[in-house]
Amino acid sequence: MASGFFAILDDIAFLMDDVALATKVATKKTAGILGDDLAVNAEKATGFLSERELPVLWAITKGSLVNKLIIVPIALLLSVFLPAAIKYILLLGGLYLAYEGVEKIIEYFFHHPKKEHTVIKETPQGSAEVNLENEKDKIKSAVTTDFILSIEIVIIALGSAAEQSITIQIVTVSAVALLATVGVYGIVALIVRSDDAGYKLIKKSGDKGILSKLGHMLVKALPVMIKVLGAVGTVALLLVSGGIFVHNIEYFHHLFPALPATIKELGFGLVMGLIVFLLATGFKKIFFKNKQTSGPQTSH
């Protein structure tokens, strides 16, 4: 009886060792995409009133957890029953990320400044609903982007544990997905609240000494970090999308072999994003034009 119990414990220990090793490998392979995820979501989680930052971030985090709960079981089922579908899902996600990256660049150069990219300021009560809509829009955008990036993270983690048993695959992918959400949004929370920490240091030190200087540095650093993360996040969207195209489309993979991988992926992200942006813009114009022409006819 005792020997059977210890044998079970021994099996569990071996399983945990295998899971730990597989998770370590998967985390290393997803490190780049996790960095991109951080840059993208830090930019999306900023631009709110101080008291609204954490509630908004918590809403995005919950959305991210729901994304993982949807993606992980579907990815595991597809890998067993329909592995070819994963590739096409990745490509569709890549098109969305490329579109979003190019849209940000075009907005910056041709439609700057734009309301949704400004910090939401204190407004009269009559504007409270507008602010709430802005929050909902940014949360929705952040959760949608997180969904696409989460697919990439889960697929890479699954691929790294493909040779393992289904049990190890399930535990490994779940662990990486959870670490991705907790780690990324934990760091984002530290970034967006760094100015509040700075103000507290200034107040505690009476605006004197080293603590005061550190506090002022944190306060001044936040706007710079937001701008840098915004730029890095946009580049990250294009790199991630370009990487999806290069690694999943054989023709693209062998095209321009002399180019460095980063330049190649960035280029494909830009080109594909621009194509999708032009198609989307053309579709919107046609739809809007049809809506305008059909409007007066229905009124008569």
Would you say residue 48 lies in a domain? yes
Cβ atoms of 152 and 244 within 8 Å: the answer is yes
pLDDT value, residue 271:
94
Query: Cα(269)–Cα(155) distance, rounded to whole angstroms?
Result: 19
Q: How far is CA 227 from CA 110, 125, 233, in A?
A: 18, 29, 10
* Count of structural domains within the chain: 1
Structural domain of 158: 22-290
Would you say residue 237 lies in a domain? yes
DSSP 260: -
pLDDT value, residue 47:
61
Q: How far is CA 6 from CA 19, 20, 109, 168, in A?
A: 20, 21, 66, 21
Cβ atoms of 234 and 105 within 8 Å: the answer is yes
Q: pLDDT tens, position by position, for the chain (300 residues)?
A: 445 443 443 444 444 454 455 555 555 555 555 666 676 666 666 666 666 777 888 888 888 889 889 988 988 888 888 877 878 887 888 888 889 889 888 988 886 554 444 444 444 544 556 667 777 888 888 888 888 778 878 877 776 666 667 777 788 888 888 887 887 788 877 877 787 788 888 888 887 888 888 888 888 887 787 777 778 778 877 888 888 888 888 888 888 888 888 899 899 999 999 999 999 988 888 887 776 676 555 554
pLDDT value, residue 277:
93
Would you say residue 7 lies in a domain? no
Would you say residue 72 lies in a domain? yes
Query: Cα(83)–Cα(77) distance, rounded to whole angstroms?
Result: 9
- Identity (one letter) of the amino acid at 253? H
Phi-psi region of 277 (alpha: psi -120 to 50; beta: other; left: phi over 0): alpha
CA dihedral 286, 272, 146, 28 (to 10 degrees): 170
pTM of model > 0.85: no
Query: Cα(236)–Cα(216) distance, rounded to whole angstroms?
Result: 30
Three-state secondary-structure class, residue 229: helix
Would you say residue 295 lies in a domain? no
- Identity (one letter) of the amino acid at 183? G
Would you say residue 222 lies in a domain? yes
Cβ atoms of 112 and 130 within 8 Å: the answer is no
Would you say residue 2 lies in a domain? no
Would you say residue 12 lies in a domain? no
